[in-house]
Amino acid sequence: MPNLVDVTYAQTGQSTAIDRMGMREMQAKAFLARDAQYLLLKAPPASGKSRALMFLALDKLFNQGMKKVIVAVPERSNGRRCTR
């Protein structure tokens, strides 16, 4: 089984550059996997994980026929931000 939690980033300084949809590189990679039943996003702090989650959840709700999405976050501050 592959190690799913060992992630290496190139550290080129380009992680804040956005594409035509307004996504950072990590967010675009996550969006490519949007058809998966389960997704684990692991990235450095302030890299855009919550925004990636927003893109994924909206696609599942509006394009994939899902009626709800479940978001599990390890910190209360992140959970409060996602429910606003």
pLDDT digits (tens, 9 = 90+) for 18-76: 888 888 888 998 999 999 888 888 888 888 888 899 899 999 999 999 999 887 777 76
pTM of the full structure: 0.66
| pLDDT > 60? residue 16 | yes
How does DSSP assign 21-72, residue by residue? TS--HHHHHHHHTTTSS-------TTSSHHHHHHHHHHHHHHTS--S-----
- pLDDT at 7 (0 to 100): 67
| pLDDT > 70? residue 83 | no
Task: Give residue limits of the domains in the chain.
Answer: 25-83
